[in-house]
């Protein structure tokens, strides 16, 4: 096992580098109608252990600069990882020339108001910084949890892995903006695959995505993790002898770790304003949502309240400012079931005259910001989980996403989960394997008829939301209670 390392950190220390960029910035700040510099440094450590043995150890640092310019109301970009006076000069000239050339074919002529002047900072809420966690400590944790998953000879694969990311961003602009944000990010997943020679079933921590949070080294509590290992392993074995999910129309309860994907695919993506405007139709797709739907469309039942919330203490996509320096605040996207606002950045809001949020986000220093999700959360209701189950005459509870499919207008979808439970006459009666369901976005959300209370809300995320040309993979967070939907088509699988 050997550490792989790429894009080594330049010899300049972070604070000296920020100072160097400030000095360089002064040379260019008046060379266009608007200029901004954004430096992003990201250190990633990626570790994996299978059946108690180390499999993967990758460590790398990615560091670079994004330059944004505005010429004649048109915005353009130039990026470089060569952080020298010459490297910055070449990137700036590239940005300026490209923007001048393309300004005559601009979709929209902006003014500088879409880059307001702000100053501020953000730091992940944590007790112990991630950089305090040693290689030995993290591998010890992963080895013990991997072995904790392997409770039986029928568990043929027990994987525990962790990705630790330390990210800093320095941003300043010709309007006077100065922002510093730093993030400590943890993606920790565990999975157990059980096999009896005929049947094979995998159970994992929240559908393979595991825990995706912002937080510090204090997250790694072995006792908690070993309890999770026991549950994962027991449920994987249980699935070997479970009945297949029936095919019928009945009530459906989704656990928060499946709601993660349900919210992501059927609320998050269709509400991205650049998709609604058609910018993404060649790649990520369009949306069934029309500009005229905002303020009118009854997206779901009256108990449905969905927020863009960048302030969730340990949610994966929390921040104070988006990647163009727009201050991020909580906002209702859907209130009492009615569609209110879009996931649209300042540019998309200006173009469409539709209310949006601070969500211009880029995956790294070498990508231009586009309209993204961040933390998109469903608010709680008034039921305990037992009360919700008691309301169901016949239905299925589904946990942990394992497959998904949705058309590029985000209208028709089909999801598969790892683990199900049958409900008969208000009681949970048996475990079901291969549970799936399908629906159509607006009728499905209008079938929402119960939510568990705020204290039952669980928060998950994904580090891998893909979109854009060239491709960008970004981190998103989704928090949700348990949700009850009436008369949904469920079915089993092979």
Binding site residues, Zn ion, CB under 5 A: 465
Alpha-carbon distances of 94 from 82, 350, 429, rounded to whole Å: 14, 26, 65
The phi, psi pair for 461, rounded to 5°, reads -165, 180
Q: Min. distance of Cβ 272 from Zn ion in angstroms?
A: 9
Q: Rank residues 163 and 465 by Cβ distance to Zn ion and give the closer one.
A: 465
Closer CB to Zn ion, 74 or 402, in the complex: 402
Q: How far is the CB of 465 from Zn ion (least distance, A)?
A: 3
- What residues have CB less than 8 Å from 232, skipping those under 6 apart? 149, 190, 191, 192, 203, 204, 205
Q: Which of 278, 252, 245 is nearest to 397 (CA)?
A: 252
Q: How far is the CB of 60 from Zn ion (least distance, A)?
A: 24
CB nearer to Zn ion: pick between 194 and 465: 465
Dist. CA 12–CA 388, nearest whole Å: 58
- Rounded to a whole number of angstroms, the minimum distance from the CB of residue 412 to Zn ion is 17
Q: Could you tell me the smallest distance in angstroms from the CB atom of residue 126 to Zn ion? A: 26
SS (H, E, C) 4-63: ECCCCCCCCCHHHHHHHHHHHHHHHCCCCCEEEEEEEEEEEEEEEEECCEEEEEEEEEEE
Q: Is the peptide bond before 382 cis (omega within 30 degrees of 0)?
A: no
Which residue, 442, 284, 276, is CA-closest to 354?
Answer: 276
CA–CA distance, 44 with 284 (Å, rounded to integer): 27
The three-state secondary structure class of 325 is: coil
Q: Tell me the CA distances in angstroms from 115 to 65, 173, 199, 203, 368, one per residue in order.
A: 18, 9, 57, 46, 15
Q: Smaller CB distance to Zn ion: residue 14 or 368? A: 368
Q: Which is nearer to Zn ion, 187 or 465 (CB)?
A: 465
Q: What residues contact 386, with CB distance under 8 A and at least 6 apart?
A: none
Measured between alpha carbons, how far is 93 from 162 in angstroms, rounded to an integer? 40
Question: Measured from the CB atom, is 43 or 411 closer to Zn ion?
Answer: 411
Edge-to-edge, what's the strand order for the sheet holding 306-308?
Answer: 338-339, 331-335, 306-308, 376-378
Smallest gap from residue 187 Cβ to Zn ion (A): 15
Asked if 340 contacts 346 with a C-beta cutoff of 8 angstroms, the reply is no
Nearer to Zn ion, 92 or 445 (CB): 445
Number of DSSP helices (H) and strands (E) in the chain, helices first? 9, 24
């Amino acid at each position: 096992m050997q550490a792989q390392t790429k894009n080594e950190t330049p010899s300049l220390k972070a604070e000296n580098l920020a100072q160097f960029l400030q000095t360089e910035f002064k040379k260019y700040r008046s060379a266009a109608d608007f200029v901004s510099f954004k430096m992003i440094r990201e250190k990633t450590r990626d570790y994996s252990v299978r059946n108690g043995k180390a499999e993967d150890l990758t460590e790398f640092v990615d560091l670079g600069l994004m330059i944004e310019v505005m010429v004649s109301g048109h915005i353009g970009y130039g990026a470089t990882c060569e952080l020298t006076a010459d490297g910055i000069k070449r990137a700036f000239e590239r940005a300026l020339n490209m923007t001048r050339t393309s300004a005559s074919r601009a979709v929209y002529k902006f003014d500088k108001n879409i880059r307001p002047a702000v100053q501020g900072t953000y730091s992940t809420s944590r007790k112990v910084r991630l950089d305090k966690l040693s290689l030995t400590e993290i591998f010890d944790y992963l080895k013990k949890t991997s072995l904790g998953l392997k409770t039986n000879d029928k568990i043929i694969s027990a994987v525990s892995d962790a990705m630790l990311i330390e990210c800093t961003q320095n941003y300043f602009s010709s309007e006077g903006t100065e922002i510093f944000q730093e993030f400590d990010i943890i993606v920790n997943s565990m999975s157990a695959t059980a096999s009896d020679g005929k049947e094979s079933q995998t159970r994992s921590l929240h559908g393979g995505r595991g825990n995706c949070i912002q937080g510090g080294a204090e997250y790694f509590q072995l006792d908690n993790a070993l309890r999770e290992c026991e549950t994962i392993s027991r449920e994987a074995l249980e699935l070997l002898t479970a009945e297949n999910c029936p095919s019928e129309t009945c009530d459906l309860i989704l656990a928060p770790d499946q709601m993660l994907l349900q919210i992501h695919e059927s609320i998050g993506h269709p509400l991205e304003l650049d998709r609604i405007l058609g910018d993404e139709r060649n790649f990520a797709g369009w949306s069934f949502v029309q500009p005229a739907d905002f303020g009118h469309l009854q997206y779901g039942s009256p108990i449905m309240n969905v927020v863009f919330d960048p302030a969730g203490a340990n949610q994966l996509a929390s921040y104070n400012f988006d990647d163009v320096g727009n201050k991020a605040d909580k906002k209702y996207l859907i209130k009492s079931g009615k569609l209110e606002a879009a996931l649209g950045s300042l540019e998309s809001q200006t173009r469409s005259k539709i209310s949006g949020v601070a969500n211009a986000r880029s995956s790294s220093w070498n990508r231009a910001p586009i309209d993204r999700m961040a933390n998109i959360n469903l608010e709680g209701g008034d039921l305990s989980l037992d009360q919700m189950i008691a309301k169901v005459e016949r239905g299925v509870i589904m946990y942990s996403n394992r497959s998904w499919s949705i058309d590029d207008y985000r209208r028709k979808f089909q999801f598969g989960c790892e683990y199900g439970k049958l409900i008969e006459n208000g009681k949970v009666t048996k475990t079901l394997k291969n549970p799936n369901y399908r629906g159509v976005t607006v009728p499905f959300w209008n079938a929402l008829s119960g939510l568990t209370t705020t204290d039952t809300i669980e928060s998950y995320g994904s580090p891998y939301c893909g979109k854009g040309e060239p491709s960008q993979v970004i981190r998103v967070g989704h928090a949700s209670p348990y949700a009850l939907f009436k008369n949904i088509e469920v079915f089993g699988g092979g």
